Amino acid sequence: MIVISRRGLLAAGSAAALAVPAAPGLVRAQTATGTVRIVVPFPPGGSADALARLAQPLLERGLGQTVIIENRPGAGGSVGANAVAKAAPDGLTWLFVFDTHAVNPSLLPSMPFDSQKDLDPVMLIGTAPMVVATHPQQPFRSLADIIQSGKDRAGGVPYGTIGNGSLGHLAMTLLAKRAGTNFAHIPYRGGGPLINDAIGGHVPIAIGSVALLATHLQAGTLRPLAQTGAQRATALANVPTVAESGFPGFEADAWWGVFAPAGTPAPVVQRFHAALTAAFRDPAAEKQLTETQQVKLMTTGPAEFRAFFESQMRIWGEVVRDNQIKPS
């Protein structure tokens, strides 16, 4: 059973970290001048990339600095994360990640950095359910259909995710075990390539965050079969959850967060956190995230995000080890 509870994890922490704003002069003294670089450790077109590009112009306005997005994909996001872990803690380099970041320490034991020691949490941007979807020309009309097909089909039903060891991969692995069926995993190098093959009908099933798939679900180029949240997302009110489809307690939400190189001064983190909060709470941006992409905005502080991140590492690390999941 997948149970991911945030109550309690998100109930305390950020007020103390953010209650006393640093003096403007101190923040300027501790923040290097120049271009701000946001590293997205995945290819363009994925959900983390979309969030970074949504925030970019609003951050430029709030910070008064040029902000660029740098896509550095590879090894499930660890290549780009390593670049940030090795960067100077001067407030000019930041990392936008999603849920795979909590899986990588268990999946990739030889990573050249320590996720907890070499990167400082800044913000949990938000969470969203994942969606199991198919091309409209595929015969599947429900989760039960693909489960039965997996039992009947030699080798199982192929399904695509954003990568090996991704949350979608882990969720489908557990679903297959609970359902007594077979799924054949096809890992892609990020959300963009997965979407291209899904809407092209080259992979029968895709699982990704509702934020990643929303546009294509609304356009009818993909058909939703089930969602993985505890409750139905507003925009997918007619799509049952996996729990409603015969698997009580099944829950797995995607999430997005921001990290900084370890040792980035607290006033610098506070300044960037404030600019991020203003960006994501901008009325137009918030509407796009919450209504179009069905993201539950959190914009939590560093202490809350650290507690949440460490819990995700424990939960999904156990799934990786129990199922002997290896990197591709």
Q: Is the model's pLDDT at 19 over the cut of 70?
A: no
Q: 44 versus 285: which is more confidently predicted?
A: 285
Of 139-143, 244-248, 313-317, where does mean pLDDT reach its minimum?
313-317
pLDDT of residue 29: 42
Three-state secondary structure call for residue 12: coil
C-alpha 47/C-alpha 53 separation (Å) is 10
- What is this structure's pTM? 0.80
Which domains does the chain possess? 14-127+255-322 (3.40.190.150), 129-236 (3.40.190.10)
pLDDT of residue 122: 98
Write the pLDDT tens digit of every residue in 236-247.
999 999 999 999
295's CB contacts (< 8 A; 6+ apart) are 125, 126, 127, 128, 211, 256, 289
Q: Is the model's pLDDT at 8 over the cut of 90?
A: no
- Average pLDDT estimate for 186-211: 93
Q: 15 versus 284: which is more confidently predicted?
A: 284
Q: Is the model's pLDDT at 11 over the cut of 50?
A: no
- pLDDT tier at 45, thresholds 50, 70, 90: confident
